[in-house]
Structure 1
Amino acid sequence: MTARTSDIEKAADVLRAGGLVALPTETVYGLGANAEDPAAVARIFQVKGRPPSHPLIVHIAGAELLGDWVEDVPETARLLAERFWPGPLTLVLRRGRRVPLEATGGLETVAVRVPGHPVALALLSAFGGGVTAPSANRFGHVSPTTADHVRAEFGGAVDFVLDGGPCAVGVESTIVDATGQTPTVLRPGGVTREDLEALLGRPPAVHTTSRIRVPGQHPSHYAPRARVVLVEPEKVVAEAELAQELGHRVGVLLPPAFTDAPVNAHAVVPVPGSAAAYARGLYGFLRELDRRGCDLIVASLPTEEGLGLAIANRLRRAAGPRPAA
């Protein structure tokens, strides 16, 4: 889907005026503000209910602009940007002077990427600057992959929703710390560990906790209203049926090997056999089970290869301990 030029210009005007724009990317929809406007950036945290210590990602229109936003660009970062931008890769580098500390959670590092969605790129070009854009959902909730998800989440709290159709990747970008000699994956995402290894000639380090704070590290994240329970694939049906018998309204993400199995549950969503299709549909599946009134979701982790690593990461966070109400 291609947004109308008039909508892109309107969205750019909203950003210039200090407003918030929900914009499509290839990963998920983002909640965007002018990256150089501390007051606009602060509104993102307010609307999302996001702790101000959690840094945001700055989206830019092209790899050639990277040096405008960071203090220096190591050779490995240039290599990664040339290969994977535009696309679902975020690089963490030392903060340049254009980036306010409000956007970095007070850190001297900044996360930057060039999104691989034509509507997002058109908006960035029309706006002529950087846009901070975490996922367009309440903090800790399921990320949005359609404009309707954003509208359902925020109603009128966002100044403009730029509709670019469903997101093609469906899980957030891979975040790589490129400040040191060895690139380190801080969050798995749309660029796989295998993709990075093929480029670098060696496996990247993978740390899901780090001295550098980045998006998606909170123990409970990407979570639907329903509680998520993870079990081994062969136990999904039995666990779901037991919970249903105990009075839960159970939703099931049914693994591919068991899609023909009858399940006594409130709602069943068969998981695609393709990791790419599963990633693209994951957040929509969780939202659908919420919409159908489930209070418990039973799922299993995919094989943690390729995009399976990112899917497993999101499911673990969705099943993580939740803060007390």
Structure 2
Amino acid sequence: MVLDGQQDASITAAAQALRAGQLVGLPTETVYGLAADADNDQAVAQVYTTKGRPADHPLIVHVADASGIGHFARNVPAFAQALVQAFWPGPLTLILPRRPGHGAAAAGQQDSIGLRCPAHPVAQALLRACVAAGVHGVAAPSANRFGRVSPTTAAHVQDEFGDGLLVLDGGACAVGIESTIVDCTRGVPVLLRPGAITRAQIAAACGIAPLSKEELPAHTPRASGTLEAHYAPNAKVRLMDTKALQAGLDLLGSDAAHLAVYARTPLRAPQVLLRRMPQDAEAAAQELFAALRGFDDAGVRLVWIEWPPATPEWEGVRDRLQRAAAA
């Protein structure tokens, strides 16, 4: 059941459902989430079961504002506080030491927990209504089957889970890829997953350049969306440079049935489904998952994608495509 997220009655219905231990499809600026009361272990277990997600793979908990941190986390370092001040509400998740007795199932039983304050107005309205109803935060991984392409519209969520799930329609997601994740449990910021907020922005906000997880591998907490293979359509994804793309298309010629190409560079490909990737990284991120879903809807079996530029603003898109190709 899809409800208009702009209506007060829809927000009330969704908050009541979450309070009762049910699941809700939640729009955020990044992707749509499959939400449950983060302190209700049975409800959180439903998220894992519905997605087919391993129970030790943690979920991100969404809170209405920075005051929600104290319910789920403890010992918040100064640089994490600076990141909250700079980027919340927004597409940034912080991994923080978890307060015992709160969010254990959502954290995959780790002693750390991922927290985010989404900027989407429908998400904000729902989270505020949840707090008023006694729900301090919602665990909300992407609303899709585990490992598959994330949803960026209410229709995508309905396609994944059918009419039995209450979904708040907040329109198409403005960012389009999942949040940047920064681990704040080891004394310095460590980037676990790139996203719309870049390394340079993190460094400017907190005064410390974030390390890569490879630079500080010991005791790295598990985090959402960091498996090698993830975000994959049904079609097989292959990343290629421009020269290899055109050479492959020339070689296949009229035998290129069931092939799609997603590229920034104009290519000669009259026999294939060709979609132009935006030249701008932000626009490419916004449409990425919808494009991959569209190729599946068209029934293609193979998608050739031009490598995104190796520049900082494209890091989030490159990350998602590399994981999609690894599936």
Deviations 1:109-155 (A, max 9, x none): 00001001110010000011200000000000000000000001110
1:17 alignment partner, one of 8, 16, 20 = 20
> How far has the Cα of 1:218 moved from its partner?
1.7
8 Å contact from structure 2 (residues 256, 272) kept in 1? no
Counting aligned pairs with the same residue, the percent is 43
> How far has the Cα of 1:211 moved from its partner?
2.5
1:298 alignment partner, one of 304, 307, 311 = 304
2:92 alignment partner, one of 72, 89, 92 = 89
What residue is the counterpart of 1:238 in the other structure? 247
Aligned residue type for 2:201: D
Deviations 1:27-68 (A, max 9, x none): 000000000100000000000000111000000000122122
8 Å contact from structure 1 (residues 23, 31) kept in 2? yes
8 Å contact from structure 2 (residues 90, 117) kept in 1? yes
What residue is the counterpart of 1:40 in the other structure? 43
What residue is the counterpart of 1:267 in the other structure? 273
Number of aligned residue pairs: give it.
317
8 Å contact from structure 2 (residues 189, 208) kept in 1? no
Q: TM-score normalised to the size of structure 1?
A: 0.93
Distance 1:215 1:292 in 2: 29
1:190 alignment partner, one of 193, 196, 209 = 196
What residue is the counterpart of 1:144 in the other structure? 151
What residue is the counterpart of 1:283 in the other structure? 289
Identify unmatched segments of 5+ residues in structure 1.
none
What residue is the counterpart of 1:181 in the other structure? 187
Identify unmatched segments of 5+ residues in structure 2.
none
What residue is the counterpart of 1:169 in the other structure? 175
Aligned residue type for 2:268: P
**Partner secondary structure for residue 215 of structure 1:** coil
RMSD, aligned CA? 1.7
What residue is the counterpart of 2:210 in the other structure? 204
**Cα 1:127–1:243 shift into 2, 3 Å:** farther
Alignment of 1:129-140 (within 5 A): 129-140=136-147
**Cα 1:266–1:157 shift into 2, 3 Å:** farther
**Partner secondary structure for residue 156 of structure 1:** coil
8 Å contact from structure 2 (residues 149, 293) kept in 1? yes
What residue is the counterpart of 2:163 in the other structure? 156
Q: TM-score normalised to the size of structure 2?
A: 0.92
**Partner secondary structure for residue 76 of structure 1:** helix
Matched, 1:26 2:29: yes
What residue is the counterpart of 1:99 in the other structure? 102
> How far has the Cα of 1:2 moved from its partner?
5.6
Distance 2:111 2:271 in 1: 49
